[in-house]
Amino acid sequence: MQKPPVAERLADIVGEKHVLSRQSELLVYNSDGLPGYRRQPRLAVFPGTREETIKVVRVLAADGLPFVPRGAGTGLSGGALADDVVLLGLHRLKKIISLDVANMRATVEPGVVNLRLNRHVAPHGLLYAPDPSSEAACTIGGNVAENAGGPHCLKYGVTLNHVLAITALLPDGEVVELGSATGERDGYDLRGAFIGSEGCFGVALDVTVKLTPRPETVRTLLADFMSVDEAARVTSAVIASGIVPAALEFMDGPTIRVVEDSVYAAGYPRDAEAILLIELDGLRAGVDADLETVRAICLGGGARAVKVAKDDAERMKLWQGRKKAFGAMGRLAPHLIVQDAVIPRTQLPAILKRIHAISEKYGVVVCNVFHAGDGNLHPNIAYSADDPAESERVHKAMTEIMTACIEVGGSITGEHGVGLDKMGYMESIFTANSLNAMCELRGAFDPDRRSNPGKVVPIHSCREWHGVASARAPRPLSAEPSHPAVA
């Protein structure tokens, strides 16, 4: 007897309205936070419970169908795009399963929004430290997939440092426990391997996170500069002083002005060429002393003024401006391309000069807003993808910026992931052996390569793939793209 079509079987599990198969309804899922890329899913399915998720993945496994996990679709690397395959949305799994205040940990479903978790634990004097700028929308599952960072990862570390355990659903439908809620590790750290696997190793059914006590004192400084170079040098000087700020963020003139035009206007000086947002936290006595040291470094390094937020409301305002900066780029043009290179901090002044020269060469406006403290650059260019000539110039400029970052010893991504967007750079920073090792690691979780196909590691880098593609291919719905291509 012939099986009913997969859409029908999935609808039996999750309900008809949570399976989309009409082309017109799938369109909105054809891009994530980087709308210059568009890939149309063949089908979208949104399970509402853990049990439904397991059943859905088992149906897909039985049919050998590839799928792409997706959280809130706020990623900036095209990682959640499904090219003619099934899109598995996990945003409906949004239960906070448990909160253990005494042991400072919480277990949540993957669709829980980062900020919602933080609001939930705040009354207990706790916080979940990783705070990506998209915290108001992005999900914990997506944070795990991308090993998300955020301004405060300078002092507190990234998602990897705050996830204790994961119940993972492997692409073949098997449920496995990775890590342990106590944080102890026996054997190889498979939890660590899963975090940052960009959906290529399966999906999380629940995530146990470590919570952090709120610091006694938090002070936020705004230092403004009339030169990008001075701000870059001060960044290095602050870190060199031995102080570890909770966050040290950089915004250049064009970014400042875009933010100041928005509802998130934070009172940044519009005429400045750069600002640094520096946050210090900890015990009051230490923070006060550090504050004076940092203030002196800023003023000595050429800062025009250093302002300290007088209360929490003003602090929040300063941060909202920074965190919503990407979203505000729509004031310049409808599409946005963002890079995520990490370079040695001492190279900041030189690389910012290079970026400026490249932007002039191609006639594009680069906005720089980034985590300066750890050298994590986010050059972004707003442009119109409807204009092919402009798109080409923008992409050439970005490629040249990335090449420059790699030349000074940088990596291609700090927190956004490789996804589709940066796959083309993988071979310029990893040897063939390293890439093949990644392929083999993936094989341990997803031997058929059905989970998020065509992302992160170019398929031709996998040694066993050569020459036997047809024999190994898991009946893909379409060929996997091997290089990023921009719509």
Partner 1 sequence: MTAINTRDPLPPDGMPGCALPGTALAGVLPGINACVHCGFCLQACPTYLNLEDENDSPRGRIFLMRSLLEGTISPDDQSVHEHIDRCLGCRACEPVCPSGVPYGQLLEATRATLLESRRIPHVARLILAVFARPWALRPAMFFSRILAATPIPTLMSGMRGRIGFAMAMLASTGRSIERSPYRASGTGERGTVASLRGCVMEGLFTQTNRATERVLTMNDYTVVEARGQQCCGALHAHAGDLETARKLARRNIAAFDGSGASFVAVNAAGCGAAMKEYGHLLRDDAEWHERAESFSARVRDVSELLAAAGPKPGGSMPITVTYDAPCHLQHAQRITQAPYAVLAAIPGLELIPLHDSDQCCGSAGIYNLIEPETSDAVLAPKLANIRAAGAPFVATGNPGCLMQIGAGLVRDGIGARSIHPVDLLDASYAALGQ
Residues at the site binding partner 1, with contacts judged by CB under 8 A: 17-18, 20, 22, 24-25, 27-29, 31-35, 46, 48, 72-74, 91-92, 113, 115-116, 134, 136-138, 259, 261-264, 324-331, 333-336, 382, 384, 386
Q: Which helix (H) or strand (E) holds 130?
A: none
Half-sphere exposure of 209 (CA within 13 A, CB side): 32
How does DSSP classify residue 195?
T
Task: Choose among 282, 246, 63: nearest CA to 152.
Answer: 246
Which of residues 36 and 454 has its CB atom nearest to partner 1 in the complex? 36
Least distance from C-beta 288 to partner 1, angstroms? 33
Task: Choose among 392, 42, 377: nearest CA to 235.
Answer: 377
Contact yes or no for 144/29 (Cβ under 8 A): no
Task: Choose among 45, 40, 70: nearest CA to 57.
Answer: 45
- Rounded to 5 degrees, φ, ψ at 435 are -65, -40
Least distance from C-beta 293 to partner 1, angstroms? 33
Least distance from C-beta 322 to partner 1, angstroms? 11
Least distance from C-beta 367 to partner 1, angstroms? 12
Least distance from C-beta 192 to partner 1, angstroms? 28
Contact yes or no for 119/218 (Cβ under 8 A): no
Least distance from C-beta 128 to partner 1, angstroms? 16
Least distance from C-beta 316 to partner 1, angstroms? 14
Alpha carbon distances (Å) from 193 to 178, 188, 238: 9, 9, 33
Q: 3-class SS at 42?
A: coil
Q: 3-class SS at 112?
A: coil
Which of residues 22 and 466 has its CB atom nearest to partner 1 in the complex? 22
> DSSP letters of 257-326?
HHHHTSTT-----TT-SEEEEEEEEESHHHHHHHHHHHHHHHHHTT-SEEEE--SHHHHHHHHHHHHTHH
Least distance from C-beta 408 to partner 1, angstroms? 29
Least distance from C-beta 376 to partner 1, angstroms? 19
Distance, CA of 483 to CA of 487 (rounded, Å): 13
- What's the first-to-final CA gap in the chain, in angstroms? 41
Distance, CA of 142 to CA of 261 (rounded, Å): 30
Least distance from C-beta 26 to partner 1, angstroms? 9
CA angle 13, 16, 19 (to 5 degrees): 85
Work out the angle between the directed axes of helices 348-362 and 388-407 (0-180°, nearest 10). Answer: 160
Label residue 382 exposed, middle or buried (CB < 10 Å: 0-12, 13-18, 19+). buried
Radius of gyration of the chain (CA): 23
Which of residues 383 and 445 has its CB atom nearest to partner 1 in the complex? 383
Least distance from C-beta 387 to partner 1, angstroms? 8
Q: In sequence order, what are the beta bridge partners of 220?
A: 279
Which of residues 44 and 462 has its CB atom nearest to partner 1 in the complex? 44
- Rounded to 5 degrees, φ, ψ at 158 are -95, -175
Least distance from C-beta 259 to partner 1, angstroms? 8
Q: In sequence order, what are the beta bridge partners of 165?
A: 179, 208
Task: Choose among 181, 114, 118: nearest CA to 145.
Answer: 114
